[in-house]
Amino acid sequence: MFNKSAKPIYQLTKDIADYTAISVASFPAKQDVIVASRMTISEPTELFLIDAKSGVSNQITFTNKEFLSGFKLAEVKKRMVPSTDGKEILTWVIYPPDFDPTKKYPTLLYCQGGPESTVSQFFSYRWNFQLMAANGYIIVAPNRRGLPGFGSKWNDDIVGDWGGQPMRDLLSAIDDVSKESYVNKDKMGAVGASYGGYSVFWLRTS
């Protein structure tokens, strides 16, 4: 049942991150503070305090800090790729550590499974983009049609069309990034599981 008295949903922080397990802190003098777990493509889950008024977040646990300090992490960039039907595809591009734009790198297209599961700022222990990039690959991870977070139509556009617009979105993403001089066009591949595996086989035979 629709609740007419419910407050509108709005963006609280400006962080490029995934927040989960959000709860209002039960501190008598700090009712405007939210405790939440946060992760990014480059950072495993840690706890953060969020000011409910300003949206400013501050990290309060550093469980992985010492471990991560021993690694040089890859740079993650947001790229908006034009689709074949005039829309834009949010795509994450992950570059190898010590990336040099004058060199050429093998490049992998990451095909998300699900088939409906957003390519967000998740830190995955299964499909870890940082680990892939550490082996010298550029990773292209698009939010193709059929993934939630971009409106119901975007999400529903995969229904009855598994080999249609979702595949064209994947191709749009890799084609757009492959225009860059640092992409080795002779060493390009695709990876994925579940619907992502289906996508890899479809792309291979199309």
Are both 79 and 63 inside the same structural domain? no
Model-level pTM? 0.88
Helix (H, G, I), strand (E, B) or coil at 43: strand
Are both 40 and 83 inside the same structural domain? no
Q: How far apart (Å, rounded) are the C-alpha atoms in residues 176 and 172?
A: 6
Q: Is residue 124 domain-resident?
A: yes
Q: Tell me which of 67, 83, 98 is where a domain ends.
A: 67
Are both 87 and 153 inside the same structural domain? yes
Q: Domain tally for the chain?
A: 2
Q: How far apart (Å, rounded) are the C-alpha atoms in residues 181 and 25?
A: 49
Are both 118 and 52 inside the same structural domain? no
Q: Tell me which of 67, 99, 126 is where a domain ends.
A: 67
Which one-letter amino acid corresponds to residue 119? Answer: V
Which one-letter amino acid corresponds to residue 125? Answer: Y
Are both 193 and 174 inside the same structural domain? yes
Helix (H, G, I), strand (E, B) or coil at 46: strand
CB atoms closer than 10 angstroms to residue 29? 6
Q: Tell me which of 50, 67, 84 is where a domain ends.
A: 67
Each residue's pLDDT tens digit, 74-114: 999 999 999 999 999 999 999 999 999 999 999 999 999 88
- Spans of the chain, pLDDT less than 50: 1-2
Are both 97 and 126 inside the same structural domain? yes
What CATH number does residue 125 fall under?
Answer: 3.40.50.1820
DSSP for 125-191 reads SSS-HHHHHHTT-EEEEE--TT-SSS-HHHHHTTTT-TTSHHHHHHHHHHHHHTTSTTEEEEEEEEE
Domain residues for the domain of 24 are: 18-67
Are both 113 and 30 inside the same structural domain? no
Each residue's pLDDT tens digit, 46-62: 999 998 888 899 999 99
